[in-house]
Structure 1
């Protein structure tokens, strides 16, 4: 894998253009997010595991009927939101700026409160209602303007224009008031969820305090503030209730603090500037997180060989940490040494068997190393990964490469068809499925799956 035209590490290359490594993979995802934007998503086993661990007791306490996906967005602003599909999106800046694990948990509890309260669906209803009312008012206004233009009456025209503008302003004010109510309801839900989970609510107060300070400093420029309206009385209400919790003084666990520190270090190392990393993690800081950030920043800046030399001492400081070994394997793979990457990645998989993203990277290194034994092992690892993430395009592309290396043309064509299907290229998927059926024994599960793809509309 080569560096792209922007001289960034291979992990930042577009999904459509490559088989990217696991760490911090960016893809474009269409979501029902604010402004209906296309979102750049960060995939990383370590950060996803931390957020899932933080959210698990909160989801249980909320009694959610389904476990939402929690997605990390490549956006520096402090922000989080939920979608109509019932998923939670958290900007990486929220992770970086959360002063404590309790603060990040409070953000998650607040968004879970929105989901549990059905706020997204009701907001859609409110927006639809207001849009219809505004459309009717505008129609009446336009009709009045048309009538005025025919009669030569400027007074009527001015009145109609004022009516249109007033309806728009009233509709927006009404919607914002509704949003204020929903945010307050989510705050109350977050307090209940944190209480039921035995978590301190101090993080919610800290988060609202930070956001209120940002509101004053930036005059509402923050993306979070535009979608999460704040007011002094709202903060006061939350703090008054939070201080009544028996868990108010409960501190964060050492494990949670370490997990957040390492996640911040990784994000800073890969996504913040070298100068920022140097200021935040000076050489005088000998903590594991600081060393982690510095070695990643050095690697990102092109110092791959020196970063590799540091990795063994970093791993020896936390030998049971699978993500350090994952990073070591990623470096070796991206530096063109896939055979050497196998040992650290195999150990990372052993230490974190449920980390699908690490397993995918291990499968990719096996494909890169080549040879029948490695390719057969790659098929096993990637097929297991596909059970966890059946729509992951990269898994199917890697499987196609592995099968091709083993001379299994029909399986390779079918895997390529799966990849095309899940990236939305149905014509290519059907063409490859037709090719696969011609190469596979009739009636086998693979032949039947190719038929399923052909039958899709």
Structure 2
């Protein structure tokens, strides 16, 4: 058995835990897929226009997480979990979620969330300090009471603020769906799915339970939203069939890529010759190194749609990752052409060109990789491949700059600073790469200072 804790020790421990709890959580794993990213952007485009945000400023980021979630964590970026795409049955459902998340952006809820967190921490810290004072005065029971009341007040204030935010954001989502002429049926269906999951998981749906929640009760949200959405002129608008087909394909692709091959083959048996099933099976076979079967599925897809850039990317990926880079060049070149040099596909083409180990291909590799990183600087794999090209031709300053780009993205700030400074010293003065080396060095130095100050 454990004795009753010393009030002063307990107060100090709580104060320490509160300070440490303020540290940011570790970054989640980002999953890059050109097709899915483009799909999310296209689904969000009319909603972004309705929200009056600048389309080019809103970013959609796919997170490799099986939970059903989407969130905004700063700036104008919406993070979508793969689990949300897997749980949704239609593009319209995902659009309902995106409309809600856009509401968080337009209302500036991330900034207000941080402000409210500080306010709640202020209440907690004040109660702890008062508790410490009472404990030092010998009033142990009073100290414990002060702490408990302070913690309850802080949590109640914080949760109430979050519930109010979510309710306001639901209404903003309704406005954006209406403005875009998109039916709200998907939003309602998705909330109903969430409520079903909550009930199966044993979460209470009563008013008393709502006090301790970060979100309003799902049943209450559905009731409010249904009343608004059913009266909207877009309620009976037909969903975009092309968008729905693209969603079903991307969903199957993600399932095949992320799931165990056995699960994929059970969900999409060989007798199913639909496009989504072939897509999922191609990735399942590729994961098991059954190259002939993976290529057979890719070729069957291309027989239906010879100029589908994503099917060409699939074939090129299977060939490249199966040790056949020369054979991968043709489909990847065509995919790059059709997508107007999408950064991820251009990066894969650059990788294939280098993997041929033919110096004659290195000039083309440099060209496509430079185009890739110019359109998407946050692609460490493309930067790494570009560094390989530079090193192979003896351009060590640019090779070190490419290494610095990779290292700063991987939070290896000391190495990034050293490589950026070395690159700057030997690059042509005033050139674009020389200026970029300065920028990377400044970023790395600033991060090192921030880490030092936290200590």
**Is 2:70 aligned against 1:80?**
yes
Matches within 5 A, 1:44-193: 44-65=33-54, 67-149=57-139, 157-193=140-176
Q: Distance in 2 between matches of 1:443 and 1:115?
A: 38
CA 168–446 in structure 1, closer or farther in 2 if over 3 Å, else same = closer
Q: Tell me how many residue pairs correspond in the alignment.
A: 416
**Is 2:377 aligned against 1:381?**
no
Q: Distance in 2 between matches of 1:176 and 1:437?
A: 50
- Measured against aligned partners, the alpha-carbon deviations of 1:242-272 in whole angstroms (never above 9, x if no partner) come to 1011111223222111111111111110112
Correspondence for 1:207: 190
Correspondence for 2:245: 258
Q: Bigger shift: 48-57 or 392-401?
A: 392-401
**Is 2:26 aligned against 1:37?**
yes
Q: Distance in 1 between matches of 2:109 and 2:442?
A: 38
CA 274–418 in structure 1, closer or farther in 2 if over 3 Å, else same = closer
Correspondence for 1:302: 289
Partner SS state of residue 29, structure 2: strand
Q: CA deviation at 1:355?
A: 2.1
RMSD: 2.6
Matches within 5 A, 1:317-396: 317-396=304-383
Q: Bigger shift: 309-318 or 86-95?
A: 309-318
Q: Bigger shift: 420-429 or 374-383?
A: 420-429
Partner SS state of residue 250, structure 1: coil
Q: Distance in 1 between matches of 2:389 and 2:74?
A: 38
Correspondence for 2:17: none
Kept in 2, the 8 Å contact 1:338–1:365? The answer is: yes
Q: Distance in 2 between matches of 1:148 and 1:267?
A: 61
**Is 2:408 aligned against 1:418?**
no
Kept in 2, the 8 Å contact 1:33–1:82? The answer is: no
Correspondence for 2:4: none
Kept in 2, the 8 Å contact 1:417–1:428? The answer is: yes
- Measured against aligned partners, the alpha-carbon deviations of 1:315-374 in whole angstroms (never above 9, x if no partner) come to 111222111110111111111111111000001111111521111101111111233431
Q: CA deviation at 1:440?
A: 5.3
Q: Bigger shift: 330-339 or 364-373?
A: 364-373
1:276 to 258, 263, 267: 263
Q: CA deviation at 1:424?
A: 3.5
- Measured against aligned partners, the alpha-carbon deviations of 1:278-313 in whole angstroms (never above 9, x if no partner) come to 332223322100111112111112212321233212
Greater relative CO (CA pairs within 8 A, separation 6+): 1
Kept in 2, the 8 Å contact 1:42–1:72? The answer is: yes
Partner SS state of residue 245, structure 1: coil
Structure 2: where are the runs of 5+ without partners? 1-20, 205-211, 446-455
CA 129–302 in structure 1, closer or farther in 2 if over 3 Å, else same = same
